[in-house]
Amino acid sequence: MNIHESIMTLRHNFIAHRGDNELEQSVVYFKISKKPPQKTTEYGIKSLRANNQTQENLNDHLNLFSAIQKHINFKIEVHIDKVNNYIKNTYTQDTIEKLRIQ
């Protein structure tokens, strides 16, 4: 649960609801053309955002994501087996061969 709360806080503060944050700094810059005539000047705004996650927190998140991925893969395999068994028990081998996509 602590890892889940940490991920939700990261999502909430870093991705979903950025707002004003002491970890974010905006920089305005100008581009001046080197080619004559220099009639236009472009400007841009870069936003830099720091993340306050520790290496330990990121490793915990990575471990959680790996565990979730394993669980999802297991669930997929279970459902594939169920479908496969249903097909084997419902149809003849000849019908299965006719339904096979080449």
List, for residues 16-43, the tens digit of each pLDDT value. Answer: 555 555 656 667 777 776 776 666 667 6
Residue 6 lies in a domain: no
In a domain, 7, yes or no: no
Reading phi first (left if > 0) and then psi (alpha if -120 to 50, else beta), residue 19 is in left
Mean pLDDT score, 52-66 = 80
Query: What is this structure's pTM?
Result: 0.48
- pLDDT of 8 reads 79
Q: Which residues fall within 8 angstroms of residue 56, CB to CB, at 6 or more apart?
A: none
Please check whether residue 72 lies inside any domain of the structure. Answer: yes
Full residue range of the structural domain in which residue 27 is found: 23-99
pLDDT: which is higher, 5 or 69: 69
In a domain, 18, yes or no: no
Q: What gap in Å lies between CA 53 and CA 50, rounded to an integer?
A: 9
Q: Is residue 43 one of the residues assigned to a domain?
A: yes
Number of domains the chain is built from: 1
Task: Evaluate whether residue 9 is within a structural domain.
Answer: no
Is residue 2 in some structural domain? no
Judge whether 41 lies within some domain: yes
